[in-house]
Amino acid sequence: MPLSGEKLAKIQPFLEQRDFHDMRVLRHAPVRAERPVALTIGNFDGFHLGHRTMLARLVEVARARSLAAAVMTFEPQPQEFFAPDQAPARLTSLREKLELLQGAGVDIAFVCHFDYRMAQISAEKFVERIVHQALDTHWLLVGDDFRFGARRGGDFDLLVSLAPRYGYEVEATHSVLFEGNRVSSTAVRACLLAGNLDGAAKLLGRRYAISGRVEHGDGIGTGFGYPTANVRLNRLKSPLMGIFVVEVDGLGERPWPGVASLGVRPTVTSRGRAVLEVHLFDFSGDIYGKRIAVRFLSKLRDEKKFSSVDALVAQMNDDAQRARDYFAQHGVSPAVNLKAGN
């Protein structure tokens, strides 16, 4: 389904909504639903334009039929349960996903715990026990390639065949195309891994960002003259690595500019664990424990191991200057003096 300018304009309010309403989050299937729902099911990793198109349709139908707009998602994601070493990097943490669902107008988010017991439920029992009994689904929206139940035995045709028995209507969405390309989480990951942040932004409908709490680090950056905010990643793998121009939300009314390193820091440590470190330009203040969102604007380079600390610091100086040049060209909050040194 091509995403034309007219269709993009239709879902734009859902892309830009900032005033969140209250959304109920269910961690366990209720014994009995409190109210009937319009439901869609999926991982919604990345929350790209395809997901947002589905949710715009879900909310539209829910409001028209006086139903609660409900989303069922899984934690962990099935691929992470069956093959954690081979599962793709997460684009969004669970909290990020819930915040995005709430901003899209969803009333109920059912976070379905995926484990061995869940994996063994047949497709027919899944519809009976969860879709019908627990959630009282009156209208169901899925992708045309949706598979569910033990051994992925259920599909759209099965949902259609069971609809008269359980009293719901079912609708399928087709793949969303944007500028001739299929919008998918896989395509977003490919763009991010390649450093194509503009391409990822087109598929997402926004700049890619990672949010998390600022933690105490090891102080290495401060020793080099570059104090950093160390942001908890909340995911096993990162979908992008390298040095980036970033801006940070959560430190005031406007985004704050900076430069970030997302990687394993091979010059200074051998632990091999990816960390996100953000150096905020001309910033002072205690932000430990604050939750911030780091938005990735441009990739400066790949991470690499330097022959000496002096060589690393020289490169950091160059990275910081290039990031300042980026903001000088593209604009930044007037509260920041970009000509100041570090």
Express each pLDDT in 31-66 by its tens digit: 778 899 999 999 999 999 999 999 999 999 999 999
105: tokens are 């107008």
pLDDT at 9 over 90: no
CATH number given to 207-330: 2.40.30.30
- Work out the number of other CB atoms within 10 angstroms of the CB of residue 111: 17
Tokens 């990822």 — which residue? 200
Give the whole-angstrom CA distance, residue 48 versus residue 53. Answer: 9
Give the whole-angstrom CA distance, residue 192 versus residue 26. Answer: 31
> How do residues 157-176 score in pLDDT, each as one tens digit?
999 999 999 999 999 998 88
- In the prediction, which pLDDT does 266 show? 55
- Residue intervals of the chain classified under CATH 2.40.30.30 are 207-330
Give the whole-angstrom CA distance, residue 7 versus residue 310. Answer: 53
Give the whole-angstrom CA distance, residue 32 versus residue 134. Answer: 5
- Residue intervals of the chain classified under CATH 3.40.50.620 are 5-178
pLDDT at 267 over 80: no
Whether residue 188 contacts residue 44, with contact meaning beta carbons closer than 8 Å, is answered with no
Mean pLDDT calculated for residue range 207-225: 82
pLDDT at 1 over 70: no
Mean pLDDT for all residues in the chain: 86
pLDDT at 16 over 80: no
Q: For the domain 5-178, what is the CATH superfamily, name and number?
A: HUPs (3.40.50.620)
pLDDT at 4 over 90: no
pLDDT at 14 over 50: no
- Picking from 28-37, 89-98, 114-123, 287-296, which range would have the lowest pLDDT averaged per residue? 28-37
